[in-house]
Structure 1
């Protein structure tokens, strides 16, 4: 199994492969973005050469601090699990439903690639949030593929551009998100404060035998808070295979090496869905000191503690500035 990671060791950041619990550096001057730019086949050749050398002097996982396995160029996050949509709409609107438009085409939003966190980091609660939540997802890492420029892909070609997979926690300030989306735009500040990726990227070749005939990837996904499991789902329960999400993202647009595409939250993979099914805030929103762990079969586990809430908030618009306004003068007549 080829695991690609980034880590800090003795004050220096490194990139390379994790094998048998040891962290082995890439050849000098290469980083993870270089690997995705090279594509999967070339990366596997690099891994074969590097891992064939003596790695006994490489630091162990216990000696390093893992970083986010990639600094993504962009992050698109889909909402591709029907069960999640049913539960969350009940939480927000009081009635469980999946609107007809959900079935017509995949839907995604762009989130912030600059606030990506690693497993082990503390995640502060953002300003104005009283309903902190997490989301259990898998992210596709896009890589180069010969003859493809990432534009208007068919699903078979999109599959060739899937370089690997990592676990993705799309942290969510649910009350902030709900307010924003009443304006029919967003989410924005309800989401962009943090995302966790990790613990590493597992290359796509490791999952060839886990795809069914329709292209769905069968991996168990589990979330827990403070050691208590909240539920398990399968990545195969998505409405669309991951390759179709990549293809859809590329239509009239482009996906490039280093882009990430989130699967969306699996069934029972967040608190808001459970709130919708329970009819109240059970289990309670996350608070400082809570520990959230996400596990995905064949990839690994990420874990983050929740930190304190930032107290500053922004004032509302002033009525004096939004009411009774007249058009400015055009100029002298």
Structure 2
């Protein structure tokens, strides 16, 4: 099934999507509540039977399926993306061994979540603004210290995930050596739907589903690929994330960027004005991301604000 969260005059509603119709559950119910309580209808017939009214999909404003997740992690399951990004900066050596030993991830801010068709504001002070097309798993149960096959069973569904990235601010973060910070705070898109695993091609904890994805800016294709060539699978990433801490219903764990579906991989620091690079995002640009079987997000980039200056500390 496909689940949507949409805006109404009295607050958000949730419903099961059947073609162009949403079977809306009673007001006040949310996807997060149903995931926590284990009460999400398992079939479209069940959802329709519990629906209080129906609305046309084209008549509503879709929100993120879970507008404020309990937690979000962004992984790096596609090591080729990392290699391509390093090459863009002029770094040609192979990845350090640690990337092959454990699945990397960092925590993202739930307050940064925006819906699939909402405007995205450029990070304050950034002139190298970028997007990253990813797929995220949404957790539907609770578990800790899980084996990969156990972790896979906790997935309630999948959604598109766009990691909006300020590459110039990310370079400052990198200098600190303690992980991602303001380079990743500008926005995180979830949507347009939460798609249950049965809607996607057969997959298992050690064999991810394989679907086509596309990313474009202003109607011009930037990158495309498929999801199946993951170096770390969902089961492995979730197993690692659950070490010593429980995964909770509504937690969002993304795959990291599918190779070529981001601007940084087409950049060349040695030739920044090369005609093959489409340029960093600017106000008015429209970014469209598509994943077969999951849906399409379409968002306009808008200008940000100037950051409030902070005086540097005296050097010791």
TM-score, with structure 2 as normaliser: 0.92
Q: CA separation of 1:278/1:216 partners in 2, compared to 1, >3 Å: closer, same or farther? A: farther
- Does 2:24 match 1:25? yes
1:158-307 equivalences under 5 Å are: 158-207=151-200, 209-211=201-203, 214-276=206-268, 279-280=271-272, 282-307=277-302
Q: CA separation of 1:58/1:277 partners in 2, compared to 1, >3 Å: closer, same or farther? A: farther
**Are the counterparts in 2 of residues 221 and 233 from structure 1 also a CA contact under 8 Å?**
yes
Residues 204-256 of structure 1: CA deviation (Å, up to 9, x unaligned): 2222x432794221111211111111121111111011111111100122211
**Are the counterparts in 2 of residues 88 and 276 from structure 1 also a CA contact under 8 Å?**
no
SS at match of 2:72: strand
**Are the counterparts in 1 of residues 145 and 245 from structure 2 also a CA contact under 8 Å?**
yes
Which runs of 5 or more residues in structure 2 are unaligned?
A: none
SS at match of 2:287: strand
Q: CA separation of 1:162/1:277 partners in 2, compared to 1, >3 Å: closer, same or farther? A: farther
Which residue of 86, 103, 116 maps to 2:100?
103
Which residue of 120, 123, 148 maps to 2:120?
123
- Does 2:313 match 1:318? yes
CA distance in 2, matches of 1:104, 1:45: 37
CA distance in 2, matches of 1:266, 1:129: 23
Tell me the equivalent position of 1:326: none
Q: CA separation of 1:132/1:47 partners in 2, compared to 1, >3 Å: closer, same or farther? A: same
Number of residue pairs the alignment of both structures matches: 312
TM-score, with structure 1 as normaliser: 0.87
Which runs of 5 or more residues in structure 1 are unaligned?
A: 324-333
**Are the counterparts in 1 of residues 134 and 162 from structure 2 also a CA contact under 8 Å?**
yes
